[in-house]
Copies of this chain bind each other. A is one copy, B any other.
Amino acid sequence: MHAEFLQYAVDLARQNVADGGGPFGAIVVKEGCIIASSGNRVTPNLDPTAHAEIMAIRTACQALGDFQLNDCTLYTSCEPCPMCLGAIYWARMKGVYYACNRFDAAAAGFDDSFIYGEIPKQPAQRSIAMHYLALPGAGSPFEVWNRLENKVCY
């Protein structure tokens, strides 16, 4: 069953190239049913976040009317990049199956492996420098949040 769903994601990835997108595909499965699917749509949508996994997660959430996908499994043609890995955690998915890895993606010209390598570096030492700047009141959004009653946690 896992192999069949994963094959579907790989076929979607191949078809997505013909449809003007990148060579990646992903589906979200809940209780044995595909509830969302997408190819990578970065260039046609002018959206660097439109990876197949992100698109499928967003579509699945809309379909379920929920901001989490607790009982859902992701099948993706290639190992999720750090962006998509983060999205999988925020969606609190059940598990992930993938058919190629970050090194296969790198060989095809994609930055997945490079970005993984940037993460352990000190923020200011990354190739895109990330600077901490001390501001008075920087913690005020969290203070307002902590005081808020009946908030929707996520």
Q: A residues near B, CB below 8 A?
A: 2-3, 6-7, 10, 13-14, 16-18, 20, 22-25, 42-43, 45-49, 51, 54, 57-58, 61-62, 65-69, 77, 79-101, 104-105, 107-109, 111, 114-116, 118-120, 123, 128-135, 137-142, 144-146, 148, 152-154
Choose from B6, B86, B93, B153 the contact partner of A81 (Cβ within 8 Å).
Answer: B86
Q: How far is the CA of A104 from the CA of B62 in the complex (A)?
A: 30
Asked whether, in the complex, the Cβ of A68 is within 8 Å of the Cβ of B86, the reply is no
Q: Are B90 and A141 in contact (CB under 8 A)?
A: no
A89 nearest CB neighbor, chain B only = B115
Q: In the complex, how many angstroms separate the beta carbon of A49 from the nearest chain B beta carbon? A: 5
Copies of the polypeptide in the assembly? 2
Q: Complex Cα distance A80/B18, Å?
A: 34
Contact (A46, B67) CB under 8 Å given A6-B133, A79-B123, A135-B3: yes
Residue contact B130 to A95, C-beta cutoff 8 Å: yes
Task: List the 7 closest A-B pairs by CB distance, nearest first.
Answer: A83-B86, A13-B141, A23-B141, A99-B138, A23-B145, A82-B86, A48-B90
Q: Which of B86, B108, B129 contacts A96 (CB 8 A)?
A: B129
